[in-house]
Amino acid sequence: MSRQNLKMFSTNFIRCGIAGWCLEVVFTALDSLARGNWKMMGQTSLIMFPIYGLGALLKPIGRLADWWVDGPQKAPDSERKRLAHCIRHGLLYMVLIFLMEYLSGRCLMGLGVCPWDYSTWPDNIDGVIRLGFAPLWFGTGLLFEWLSKRP
């Protein structure tokens, strides 16, 4: 990896980490409002920064998937292809985010420091992921892609 690519990845890592923190604070604040707490106090954990920062890997993975599916063309050339591209990336990113959430959640649980616990939700898997978050992760993945500059 060149020095310039490493610098770009570091910048994107920081952007995705901060964006993830902000999204989590807003999400938890809105959740508290839905529970009747008008203070709308949001929260996150410092542990989440590197986990969200890994969102910087999504765009390169998406480009690799495009190359594999479409060949070495530069960008979708029609509205229909752009929509298919967006859906493909969103679904891929959603799956990758679920995978990272699961792996990091299990590791953090093993260390006794996991900042989330979904075990009381009916759509949970091992208490570390909630399938109901699929649309949120779809959108978050696309946001991380948008935030990441091309290396």
- Structure confidence by residue, pLDDT tens digits, 101-150: 999 999 999 999 999 999 999 999 999 999 999 999 999 999 999 999 76
**pLDDT of amino acid 76:** 67
Residue 151, pLDDT above cutoff 80: no
Tell me which of 72 and 63 has the higher pLDDT. Answer: 63
Residues 79, 85: Cα–Cα separation, whole Å: 10
What the block records as the tokens of 76 is 């979708």
Residues 125, 95: Cα–Cα separation, whole Å: 14
**pLDDT of amino acid 150:** 63
What is the Cβ-side half-sphere exposure of residue 18, based on CA atoms within 13 angstroms?
8
Q: Work out the percent of the chain whose per-residue pLDDT is above 90.
A: 80
**pLDDT of amino acid 104:** 98
Q: Work out the percent of the chain whose per-residue pLDDT is above 70.
A: 95
**pTM, two decimal places:** 0.91
- Other Cβ atoms within 10 Å of 53 Cβ, number: 22
Tell me the CA end-to-end span of the chain in Å, nearest whole number. Answer: 10
Average pLDDT rounded to a whole number, residues 28-52: 96
Residues 55, 143: Cα–Cα separation, whole Å: 9
**Widest pairwise Cα distance in the chain:** 52
Average pLDDT rounded to a whole number, residues 64-86: 82
* DSSP summary character for residue 120: T
